[in-house]
Amino acid sequence: MIVESDLSLSGNPDIFVIGDQACFRTSSGNALAGLAPVAMQEGRHAAENIRRTLLGLPSLAFRYQDKGMLATIGRKRAVVQMPRLQFGGFTAWLTWLFVHIFYLIGFKDRAFVLAQWAWSYATFRRGARLIVEKEWRSSPTGHTFPT
């Protein structure tokens, strides 16, 4: 849904839309990507605007701050692209790991995820369950499954 500058719906100033459901256009007319950093900033901003609405104050316009992008590209490899810094390799992979752990809520969650990742890394387990078989069969409902 296309949202107003404060992330509210046009004609419905008490309804805010964030994340993948929001189409926010920047001052240059470009839509922000449906990525976690965008949704996180939108969520904080919408919460602040809801608080302001409850206090009888006007909503504030949303301004996205691009903090950069991180992506893993293999075992012990990643890329980091920030506004003034770009690097890759093992250091980027450690940066990716730290940032993802940092944004988890609570020590227990951070410790659990770090332990899971360490186990997967040490045992060479895949993090995702992918179907790689080439032979497929049909079910009575029309769905296809690997044989």
Write the pLDDT tens digit of every residue in 48-92.
999 999 999 999 999 999 999 999 988 889 999 998 999 999 999
Query: Hey, what long-range contacts does 46-49 have (CB within 8 A, 24 or more apart)?
Result: 46/7, 46/16, 46/18, 49/6, 49/7, 49/8, 49/16
Which residue range is the domain that position 97 belongs to?
A: 68-147
Q: Domain check: are 135 and 76 in the same one?
A: yes
In a domain? residue 63: no
In a domain? residue 90: yes
Q: Domain check: are 79 and 146 in the same one?
A: yes
- Asked whether residue 43 carries a pLDDT value surpassing 90, the answer given is yes
Q: Domain check: are 94 and 144 in the same one?
A: yes
Q: Domain check: are 30 and 86 in the same one?
A: no
In a domain? residue 109: yes
The rounded distance, in Å, linking the Cα atoms of 147 and 144 is 9
Q: Domain check: are 82 and 113 in the same one?
A: yes
Q: Domain check: are 78 and 24 in the same one?
A: no
How many Cβ atoms are within 10 Å of 78's Cβ, its own excluded?
Answer: 20
pLDDT of residue 21: 94
Q: Is the pTM of this model over 0.95?
A: no
